[in-house]
Amino acid sequence: MATTSLAGCFGCHMSLLDIDEELLDVVELVDFNKSPLTDIKEFSRRCDVGIIEGGCCNSENVEVLRAFREHCDMLIGVGECAIWGGLPAMRNFIPIEECLLEAYGRTTELEDSKVVIPKHEDLPELLDRVYGCQEIVRMDYFIPGCPPDARHIWKVLKHALFGQPYALTHEEFKYD
């Protein structure tokens, strides 16, 4: 299994780890490859499942998402940001220049003409808006929530990986 956080807040990864002692059983059964959980940066082999947190707000997000599609048999988007952009997509209603001025200038009370927007070839280019994952690559499944409950995530994974029956209680369907 591999995981990544694109334009997300890591809340979905935190939820992934929130199954507490059951995580020990999972580690027995699942081998984590590229993931912030292992700090493995590149795929070293093909994976059964790729877990995607967050949507795409810059060119690096798109590159990483395409690499996951290429290296994973099944892609599962976890959380609202992966589904439709989530909180970062609030910027979709504001011109990008306005967002940059707000982030780099107005909070320091500089005049707009004196604001320096960082630009460097090593910095990923911002996209015109924030995209849900399905708008960039084909996704197989999504798990709704912000973040989804840990039990919900692992029930989906155990169903996908081991064919265990899948049923969800009302309290396991969660938005904070």
User: Per-residue string for binding with ligand SF4, 136-155, x by CB under 6 A?
Assistant: ----------xx--------
Pick the closer one to ligand SF4 by CB: 84 or 101.
84
Closest to 176 measured CA to CA, from 12, 22, 56, 54: 12
Does the footprint of ligand SF4 cover residue 85 (CB under 6 A)? no
Does the footprint of ligand SF4 cover residue 54 (CB under 6 A)? yes
Does the footprint of ligand SF4 cover residue 57 (CB under 6 A)? no
* Cα separation of the two ends of the chain: 26
Pick the closer one to ligand SF4 by CB: 110 or 135.
135
Longest pairwise C-alpha distance within the chain: 60
Q: How far is the CB of 81 from ligand SF4 (least distance, A)?
A: 3
Q: What are phi and psi of 83, to 5 degrees?
A: -75, -50
Q: Which of 9, 100, 101, 126 forms a contact with ligand SF4 (CB under 6 A)? A: 9
* Beta-sheet pairing, 72-78 with 141-143: parallel
Residues that bind ligand SF4 (CB under 6 A): 8-9, 11-12, 53-54, 79-81, 86-87, 146-147
